[in-house]
Amino acid sequence: MLRGAVKPLVRQFARSHFTLRLPAYMHAREKYGDWSRNQLLRRIAQLEGRAESLGVDVPPPESSPSASDAPPSSKKPPRPYDVSAQPCRKVALRFCYDGGSYSGLAAQVGQMTPLPTVEETIWEALCTARLVDATKSMEEADWSRCGRTDAGVSAAGQVVALWIRSRCVDERPWRYKTGDEPIVLTDASEEELPYVATLNRLLPPTIRIQAWSPVRPSFSARFDCVYRHYKYFFTLGAPHTLTWQPESPSQFVGRLDIERMRDAAARLVGEHDFRNMCKVDASKQITNFRRRIDGATIDYVSHGWSDSEIPEPIPYRTDEPMYVLNLRGSAFLYHQVRHIMAVLFLVGARLEEPSIIDELVNVETGAAAADRVHARQWLTSVEQEDAATPDKMRMASLAMPHDDMPTVETRPTYEMAADRPLMLWDCGFRPEQVSWRASTYAGPLPASATCMDYTPSVRALSQLHALWTREAIHTELTRHLVLASSTGHGTQLPASTSFARARTPLVPASADMNEATGRAHLVPLGNGVVRPTTRYKPLLSRPRDVSAEAKNQKWREGKGRRRAERRAPHSDPI
């Protein structure tokens, strides 16, 4: 729904930049309808600046009554509200968002992005609600995030921490380190400010605050997190009942081999050097690429809202089921999950063997074998429930890597998987650090939560379900577009169809798939993207990237030196 203040801005934007036609206006409504007023103003300023640089004249805005013509108001101007003078406390916020509507999570200070970022959208809502000081920066609010996500990547359980206005306690002495004790303003059973309900009223429907928690003053959403859990969704691949044009170079020749992918994923468990399955960000000057993977399974995605685990069915030959890579670890490198998924796709497409994982982590002689030994020793300390997952059981039964396995010191060139199917599912903390609640209750949580008021959470859940309903209907509409277009006999389509058959449309009988043997290989990249190739070159035969050390040194001598010179204080001439 368009807010009252946003709708005129969208209409004015469409009239100023287009010859207003109904399709253009409807496109503007669909694209910018959920943006806030400040986001729309920044976008208009960005487009006007781009038009000016191209020498395009921007029509002046529609005339409106000037402020001088308006009758004088008898109302007194509102008194200024100083948020910094109000009591505050340190809290953590847990929220979810659809990454397709934003240019990533982190706010880009001093940079213009095509879409707003999630953090700046939440920060604007916090400022509008006067929960933080709008004259200060996020850094001054001690803002910390748990897991940074890029543009297009979604999150179901993202966490940030910051200082925020409070009605129950004043922790400013802890915030500013004055040495005094915090001041308790109300009884612990009294209600705190309605953080969840207030922010969800101001945020677009693609961002929902799920809960909040009191935390200690030194709490960091990044460094106090004990694990990050990512999910990457993908389909098994089109069945043989769906065939494309015979002359197409991307003729489908098979579906993903899930068992091969599970075999490869099990080899990720444990601590490895992942420099060959990530993108080296030289500005971070990272020299340690060892990360521990606590779990790596490929699981069937069941439909509906079951309250118990559903066993994985055997896919019928005409089905196209959904699967998900569940990947949990203490921390992840830049684009690590998408690089891992790209390699798993190559294994599932039968272009690489599952042992390619062992070869990519074998950055020095014997590294893969040593990692396997340490992983099996680590398994003895894992809780029994987690030790019995399929990935741990597969890893324990794998043969040890060969001693003559080639070393891969630098990353072979390959394209990482698409961003849209990736989701940050959960960020884990110790129970003594956070106690999530959706209500305004600020005291210690009881053992039973039956007395808690979860109205804000229920409202957010219903809004998310409505969003899912719209997307599910859109998915089914698209599936019917495929059913209306597919044919197994060249380009022929029937002139008419009986009502009995049209009620539940079926795919026509497919052509003989044996004709496709020997055609181009498909390299899947997720989200429906494939790269056809007639001559696939194995990963270890491809050109190698430069080493991380060389990239770090080049950055230090270039951008790093210039950045240090800009930040260094200028000395006065003698």
Q: Catalytic residue numbers?
A: 150
Q: HSE on the CB side for 17, CA within 13 Å?
A: 20
How many helices (H) does the chain have, and how many strands (E)? 16, 13
Amino acid identity of residue 127, one-letter, is C
* Residue 174, phi then psi, degrees to nearest 5: -75, -35
Q: How far apart are CA 109 and CA 287, in angstroms?
A: 26
Angle at 322 between CA 337 and CA 297, to 5 degrees: 45
Per-residue burial over 142-153, b if 16 or more Cβ lie within 10 Å, else e, is ebbbbbebebbb
Q: How far apart are CA 295 and CA 269, in angstroms?
A: 6
Q: Which helix (H) or strand (E) holds 461?
A: helix 455-485
| Strand-pair partners of 229 | 328, 426
The residues, ordered by sequence, that sit 6+ positions from 125 with a Cβ below 8 Å of its Cβ are 199, 202, 203
Measured N-to-C along each axis, helices 195-202 and 118-128 cross at an angle, to the nearest 10 degrees, of: 110
Q: Chain centroid to CA 219: how far?
A: 23
Q: HSE on the CB side for 448, CA within 13 Å?
A: 2
The runs of H, that is alpha helices, within 249-314 are 258-266
Amino acid identity of residue 540, one-letter, is L
Q: How far apart are CA 512 and CA 412, in angstroms?
A: 37
| Strand-pair partners of 291 | 272
DSSP 117-173: -HHHHHHHHHHHTTSS-TTS-TTTTT-EESS---TT-EEEEEEEEEEEE-SSEE-HH
Amino acid identity of residue 509, one-letter, is A
Q: Which helix (H) or strand (E) holds 299?
A: strand 290-300
* Residue 178, phi then psi, degrees to nearest 5: -85, -10
DSSP 406-417: PP--SPBP-PPP
CB 92 within 8 A of CB 160: yes
Q: How far apart are CA 38 and CA 17, in angstroms?
A: 18
Tokens 């577009």 belong to: 481
The residues, ordered by sequence, that sit 6+ positions from 370 with a Cβ below 8 Å of its Cβ are none
